[in-house]
Structure 1
Amino acid sequence: MTDSPKIAERRARLASVVLATAIAITGLCYSSWLLAYVLKIDVDSVNSFLSQLDAEGKPYRQVFSIADTIVGATLMPAAVTGLLLFPRRRFTTVGWVALFCFGAATIADVVVPLRECTPGDSACGGPSELFPQLHQPHALSSTVAVTSIAVATFAFSLAAFRYHRWRILREFGLVVLVVGSAATVWMLVADNLSGNYALGIAQRIQVGAMSLWLLTLAAAVVLEGKDWTDPT
């Protein structure tokens, strides 16, 4: 005996709400770096990476590590759920897979935390490096995380335009994507120039855009769930 259309619709609606809640949690937890200002941690926002907040030996390290762990532990099953629950199309499939990779890389960030560098530490680069921590293994997991969520944002944005669905992603999500992309370009260009170009500010804009985009995706899932489940 098959379920009635109304029951199936209710189940799909409930699943979309649960999925949206999970994605929203990841967006909020990924913005945990804002707690640094509440906890009054002495950090240079202009010339420091956010990874330094949960570096070995830092105060309140566990707070930020737990937040990142929640991001990964919540987003990975959410991405799998998205793949299984909604119709599979090329762009959305790429988006869900990329979100899964982002969650896994965020867990890796916690497992391989940033190590505080000292002047002359060969493992952390030369003494003239603005960001010597880029030479550490932690940089690899962070790079994978940023690349993964970048792929996800572009994939879902393309899907929103290609399939003429999810208006919130086409409009507000696109604005967030442009802001985050501009900050990324800022970091990539400035990191290859001599001098200080406020890379810490650029990264905070970039990560803030990531969190805001995740919240936008959550809103798209829960507000436009019918579009997501409609196979048309």
Structure 2
Amino acid sequence: MTDNPGIAERRARAGSWFIAAAIAVAGLCYSSWVLEFALPIDVDSVNTFLSELDAEGKPYREIFSTADKIVGALLIPAAIGGLLLFPRRALTTVGWIALLCFGASTIADVLMPLHDCAPGEDCGGGLFPQLHQPHALTSTLAVTSIAVAVFAFTLAAYRYHRWRILREAGVVILVVGASATVWMLVADNLTGDYALGIAQRIQVGSMSLWLIALAAAVVLEAREWTEPVVPCSDHG
């Protein structure tokens, strides 16, 4: 016995709403850093990285670390749901897997926070800062994963003529995020202060906006995918 097509359609739409809600909430939680402007936190937003907010021993660390845990806890099942619900295509499959990796890396980021350097310990940057603190490695994995997800879904939007929102707003967000990343990579290797904190906040803010755009795209994609196709009659 097969399921009624109407029941299958309702299940697909309900699943898409769950996935979209999880991604949207994750996007909002990933922007928890804006609370630094509301809480009594002594931090230089222009020149310090966001990792300082939930570093070991920092006040209000639990607020920011909990928000990041929620991000990972929501994105992992959302990505798996996206893989199972939507038709399998190469680029979107890469995108969903990269989103899952981003969620896992965000949780790892929390479990391995930035720590203060012990006397005599080398915590410098250099070409491979991952060798100095595990947190640098997890942060690199997180940023790389979501960059792959953004790029894969953007290409998919153009190649498959689907995911319309990501073809329109997604490209703008991609350009803004990529520009902030280049700003950080170049300025980090120069002497002097180049507002790296602002660059990272623009980068992370663009990630949050993209997640919300992806959530909206999931709802629209599921709606178009489950809409019944009305056959066109051919008249001469």
The secondary structure found in structure 2 opposite 1:224 is helix
- Please tell me whether residue 124 in structure 1 is matched to residue 123 in structure 2: yes
Which deviations, in whole Å up to 9, do the C-alpha atoms of 1:76-95 show, x marking residues without a partner? Answer: 11111111111110000000
Aligned to 2:69: 69
CA RMSD of aligned residues (A): 1.9
- For 1:228 and 1:135, the matched residues in 2 are separated by 47
Deviations, residues 112-142 of structure 1 (Å, cap 9, x unaligned): 0001347x6423128xx8xx89831100000
For 2:218 and 2:36, locate their aligned partners in 1 and report how far apart those are by CA, in whole Å: 30
**3-state SS of paired residue (1:123):** coil
Give structure 1 regions of 4+ aligned residues with deviation exceeding 4 angstroms. Answer: none
Unpaired runs of 5+ residues, structure 1, are none
CA distance in 2, matches of 1:78, 1:183: 27
Are the structure 2 counterparts of residues 25 and 145 from structure 1 closer, same or farther at C-alpha, using a change threshold of 3 Å?
Answer: same
Could you tell me whether the CA contact under 8 Å between 1:176 and 1:209 is conserved in 2?
yes
- Matched residue type, 1:61: R
The alpha-carbon deviation at position 229 of structure 1 amounts to: 5.6
In the other structure, the counterpart of 2:223 is: 226
Q: 1:157 aligns with which of 151, 154, 158?
A: 154
Alignment of 1:200-215 (within 5 A): 200-215=197-212
Q: Percent identity?
A: 73
1:47-102 deviations in Å (ceiling 9; x for gaps)? 10101100011000000010010111111111111111111100000000000110
What's the offset of the Cα at 1:36? 1.0
Aligned partner of 1:174 among 171, 174, 180: 171
Q: Give 1:76's aligned amino acid.
A: I
The answer as to whether partners of 2:130 and 2:137 remain within 8 angstroms in 1 is no
Q: Which amino acid counterpart does residue 197 of structure 1 have in structure 2?
A: Y
- Name the structure 1 match of 2:44: 44
Question: What's the CA shift for 1:213?
Answer: 0.1
What are the residue-to-residue correspondences of 1:1-232 with 2, within 5 Å? Answer: 1-117=1-117, 121-125=120-124, 135-228=132-225
Which amino acid is the alignment partner of residue 121 of structure 2?
S
Structure with the greater alpha carbon radius of gyration: 2
Partner amino acid, structure 2, of 1:147: T
The one-letter amino acid paired with 1:198 is A
Post-superposition CA distance 1:201-225 (Å, at most 9, x none)? 0000000000000000001111331
Indicate conservation of the 8 Å contact 1:87/1:229, yes or no: no
Whole-Å Cα distance in 1 between the matches of residues 224 and 19 of structure 2? Answer: 15
Question: Number of paired residues?
Answer: 226
Q: Is the 8 A contact 1:56 1:113 kept in 2?
A: yes
Distance 2:73 2:117 in 1: 29
TM-score, normalising length: structure 2: 0.90
Residue 40 of structure 1 and its aligned partner are, at CA, apart by: 2.7
Q: Deviations over 1:168-199 (max 9, x none)?
A: 11111111111000000111111111111111
Task: Call closer, same or farther: CA 1:20–1:2 in 2, change over 3 Å.
Answer: same
Question: Contact conserved, 1:86 with 1:229, CA < 8 A, in 2?
Answer: no
